[in-house]
Amino acid sequence: MTFALFFGIVPPILLLYYIWTLDKVEQEPIGLVLKTFFFGMLSVIPAVVLEIFGGGLLSFIGVPYDTWLYYALDCFLVVAFAEEFSKRMMARFSIWNNPEFNYRFDAVLYLTASALGFAAAENIMYLIDSDLGGVLGRLIPVHTICGVFMGYYLGFAKTAELDGDREALKKWNRLSLLVPMLIHGFYDFTLSTGSMAMVLVSLLMVVVLTFRAYRSIRKVAAEDRPL
């Protein structure tokens, strides 16, 4: 249990601290960041409910199990939607109308906090019954990548909301969910197929997107401006 708690929580906390230190313009209150992290942990609950419902729906409509069609529908429309929607919902509940949410980088920080909170809770549940190989597998930062891109688009969504631009608000809100869903769904799908070629594709994708997310974080932090 101690092993699971350490490897489940410490890496997400360290990564969150690093992103928090990048906020040079107006550093966010650590209490609010941790609150959003905790809300991200709680987002596991609605995600599980949605995944159970979605899995039941696939069975009800007769999608044959253990086929690529089933994997695609389950990974993209059930798991990815359930988890990304839940992380975004809980983060928005935590910070969307908070006066501290007043810079574009704040969206990246808080959505990444929510994603890392989700990852920490998921890691703990997974690692309790896992071995070292499972631990290393859970350290792959897919939730973090999704949180960065989700926060990037939600920063624009918040700006559009404050500007009264409803069309832009809808556009950025859609992208804030769709892009993380595609990343998350594709990663899960490649692993579900059992194909070594697809696994290598997924690992390459993670490396490329990790680099892209890292550059995006630093770029948004350097060019940060008030909402």
Phi, psi of 226 (to 5 degrees): -65, 150
Rounded to whole angstroms, the Cα distance separating 178 from 84 reads 9
Asked whether the beta carbons of 28 and 106 are under 8 A apart, the reply is yes
Q: What is the per-residue pLDDT for 122?
A: 84
pLDDT surpasses 80 at 143: yes
Taking Cα atoms as reference points, which of 32, 3, 181 lies closest to residue 97? Answer: 32
Share of the chain above pLDDT 90, in %: 56
Q: What is the per-residue pLDDT for 55?
A: 94
Better-predicted residue by pLDDT, 20 or 46: 46
Residues with Cβ < 8 Å from 168, sequence gap 6 or more?
Answer: 156, 157, 160
177-191 per-position pLDDT tens digit: 999 999 999 999 998
Q: What is the per-residue pLDDT for 7?
A: 62
How many Å is the maximal CA-CA distance in the chain?
A: 53
pLDDT surpasses 60 at 1: no
96-138 per-position pLDDT tens digit: 999 999 988 999 999 999 999 998 888 777 776 665 555 545 5
If phi > 0 it is left, if psi is from -120 to 50 it is alpha, else beta; for residue 26 that is beta
Give the amino acid at 147: G
Asked whether the beta carbons of 8 and 67 are under 8 A apart, the reply is no
Q: What is the per-residue pLDDT for 179?
A: 96
Q: What's the pLDDT band for 213 if we cut at 50, 70, 90?
A: confident
β-bridge partners, 226? 103
Q: What is the per-residue pLDDT for 129?
A: 65
The DSSP secondary-structure symbol of 27 reads P
Q: What's the pLDDT band for 150 if we cut at 50, 70, 90?
A: very high
Give the amino acid at 42: L
3-state helix, strand, coil in the chain (%, to 5): 80, 0, 20
